[in-house]
Homo-oligomer: A and B are copies of this chain.
Amino acid sequence: MATDQLSLIFGALADPTRRAILARLSEGEATVTELAEPFDISLPAISRHLKVLETAGLISRSRNAQWRTSRLEAAPLRDVVAYMEKYRRFWDERLVRLEQHLERMQQEDQS
């Protein structure tokens, strides 16, 4: 995958397991074993998903004794929202309706 920040973020979000991990973390910090519990995959697999999320900046991790707890990080999500902003006029229904309205007004002016 490309190594720029947005690609890392989108790439991390492209996997359902990783999105589920983020969803779980949105309810609070958790250890690797806790995060792995709902899934039918091995701990090393979870461990690497966490690494992907960490590289994308979507989580941060800290060490408590032998446990490594993960927590959700906000910044990259804000980056995604900022990126989406560029396309607001394409997905914001209100804005689309406004544009259509203005278009109609202009046509009426011309006729």
> What residues make up the interface of A, taking CB atoms closer than 8 Å to B?
1-2, 4, 6-7, 10-11, 13-16, 19, 22-23, 26, 72-75, 77-78, 80-81, 84, 86-87, 90-91, 93, 96
Contact = CB atoms under 8 A, between A and B. Distances in A.
A74 B86 contact: no
Contacts of A6: 13, 16, 19
A2 B16 contact: yes
Contacts of A90: 26, 72-74, 77
Given A13-B10, A19-B6, A81 B78 contact: no
Nearest to A90: B74
A107 to B, nearest CB: 19
A84 B81 contact: yes
Top 3 A-B pairs, shortest CB-CB distance: A77-B91, A10-B14, A11-B14
26 contacts: A1-B14, A1-B15, A2-B14, A2-B16, A6-B13, A7-B14, A7-B16, A10-B10, A10-B11, A10-B14, A11-B14, A14-B14, A26-B90, A74-B87, A74-B90, A74-B91, A74-B96, A75-B91, A77-B87, A77-B90, A77-B91, A78-B93, A80-B80, A80-B84, A81-B81, A81-B91
